[in-house]
Amino acid sequence: MSTIHSTMFSQLADKSLFAQAQAYAYAYMDASQERHVFPHAADLAALSAFDEPLPKTPQDGQAILEMLDTVGSPGTIAQTGGRYFGFVNGNAIPTAVAARWLSDVWDQNTALHVMSPTVAKLEQVCERWVNQLLGLPADTTAGFVSGTSIATMCGLAAGRYALLQKQGWDVNTDGLFGAPPIRVVLSEQSHGTVFKALALLGLGKARVELVPADDQGRLDPAHLPELDANTLLILQAGNVNSGAFDDFETICAKANAANAWVHIDGAFGLWAAASPNQRHLTAGIALADSWSVDGHKTLNTPYDSAMVLCKDRQALTAAMQATGAYIEYGEQRDNMMFTPDMSRRARAVELWATLKFLGADGVAQLIDGLCQRATQFATQLTENGFTVLNDVVFNQVMIAEDTPEKTQALMANVQASRECWCGGSKWQGQPVIRISVCSWATTEADIERSVAAFVNARA
């Protein structure tokens, strides 16, 4: 046996390496609520220690972990605290983190049932639970992917396949050269990942039909063009800036009458359907054909957790399925039939753990809590003389000063304070500060402290 193999067997046997990692992780957790949200300049400069040549010989595992903690940990964002409000980034629920640790030790490849019966079962259970939470048809199919970017691409690929199949064209066999045209209709406020998915699928970013949005970023039904059976219509549950939701009941009714395919991009907003208090925002979503949603945003699973949901199982599997002499499809759920990848980690484990820990009532409480803290943020900012630009209907708050220069200066000062962190965006052509309340750990005191940071930054 080689020296490196002996070393690795020893690491598995004595467990000291894992105890060391556990100690570092616990220390990080203990400091997460009070540490500065963004690293100091010295911490960022220290990251240059990673700029070293590739070692020629094996290195000591404990020294590697020590370097990762002493150099790497200070350079991270305090996303697991309660005062990070950037990029709609969630904060992993403790039970889900623990479940992920265990599943990482399992190290399952979850492409086929024969590769991991446990994960195949958990995906099947999560599919049923998510359909129940969101009020989708019971036989809706779920594919578990890394993020909404891929989930959206999968939903649109299923729609592309179904629309062309109705016209007698097999896109899998014949491609898009000479294919019947597909119309793509979407809001001018659609997320950038939607346009990326359209580009990757060969449907183009420039040939789409853009529909004007209202002052909150909702697709305006009054400007919706006539739809037909060749139309791929894309709607939005949660505008990335304002948090606004499209009028699904009105628009989907028109699309259904025309036999168009409807996809709803619900990266963070689709979870509103799981709360009795927020469910009105998603009325009519069950009339769509496919949906994309993240677990790692509103639901607060660890990262690399999202779903494509599709009413037409055959369309999704036809768009995703791969073949090979070595691939053993069975009678049980084979996970790779519903996603573009084959080898992938067991991301459904932490989703299952999150849903089982929270239950339906806990999911609703989590969502309501985010909405309450966003409303508190907006209210207290307004009381301190800041201008809130959007109707706060979910977890997004937008503010701006009376000039673009002041807005940008305010954001820079807030970020420099490291008390909280918010990102910038553009709204109606002007810079704004976007506040996304996405962490289960955000308390009323965190909001008060963050509002104080805004007041001090303006001063």
pLDDT digits (tens, 9 = 90+) for 74-123: 999 999 999 999 999 999 999 999 999 999 999 999 999 999 999 999 99
Q: Are residues 190 and 43 part of one domain?
A: no
What per-residue confidence (pLDDT) applies to 86?
Answer: 93
Q: Are residues 319 and 236 part of one domain?
A: yes
* Domain-embedded: residue 366: no
What per-residue confidence (pLDDT) applies to 291?
Answer: 98
pLDDT band at 329 (very low <50, low <70, confident <90, very high): confident
* Domain-embedded: residue 408: no
Q: Are residues 163 and 224 part of one domain?
A: yes
What per-residue confidence (pLDDT) applies to 308?
Answer: 98
Residues 6 or more apart whose Cβ sits within 8 Å of residue 109? 115, 116, 343, 344, 345
> How open is the CA angle 189-192-195, to the nearest 5 degrees?
95
Q: Are residues 47 and 14 part of one domain?
A: yes
What per-residue confidence (pLDDT) applies to 362?
Answer: 98
Residue 326 clears pLDDT 90, i.e. is over it: no
Point out the domain boundary residue: 305, 327, 354: 354
What per-residue confidence (pLDDT) applies to 24?
Answer: 98
> How open is the CA angle 307-218-428, to the nearest 5 degrees?
110
* Domain-embedded: residue 270: yes
Q: Are residues 69 and 156 part of one domain?
A: no
- pLDDT tens digits, one per residue of 178-199: 999 999 999 999 999 999 999 9
Mean pLDDT of 289-315: 97
* Domain-embedded: residue 195: yes
Q: Are residues 196 and 50 part of one domain?
A: no
* Domain-embedded: residue 291: yes
- Relative orientation angle of helices 348-383 and 94-106, to the nearest 10 degrees: 150
Q: Are residues 147 and 40 part of one domain?
A: no
* Domain-embedded: residue 449: no
Q: Are residues 48 and 187 part of one domain?
A: no
What per-residue confidence (pLDDT) applies to 323?
Answer: 73
Q: Are residues 105 and 39 part of one domain?
A: no
Q: Are residues 257 and 108 part of one domain?
A: yes
User: Please, what is the average pLDDT of the chain?
Assistant: 96
Residue 324 clears pLDDT 80, i.e. is over it: no
Q: Are residues 194 and 51 part of one domain?
A: no
Point out the domain boundary residue: 312, 332, 354: 354
* Domain-embedded: residue 227: yes
Check the CA dihedral 351-352-357-359 and report its sign.
positive
Residue 328 clears pLDDT 80, i.e. is over it: no
For residue 262, give the CATH number of its domain.
Answer: 3.40.640.10
What per-residue confidence (pLDDT) applies to 289?
Answer: 98
Mean pLDDT of 345-356: 97
pLDDT band at 205 (very low <50, low <70, confident <90, very high): confident
- Distance (Å, rounded) from C-alpha 50 to C-alpha 40? 17
* Domain-embedded: residue 229: yes
- pLDDT tens digits, one per residue of 405-431: 999 999 999 999 999 999 999 999 999
- Distance (Å, rounded) from C-alpha 256 to C-alpha 316? 19
Mean pLDDT of 247-257: 98
Q: Number of structural domains, the chain? A: 2
pLDDT band at 455 (very low <50, low <70, confident <90, very high): very high
What per-residue confidence (pLDDT) applies to 133?
Answer: 98
- Give me the amino acid identity at 94: P
Q: Are residues 225 and 111 part of one domain?
A: yes
Point out the domain boundary residue: 354, 370, 401: 354
- Which range marks the domain in which residue 18 is found? 3-78
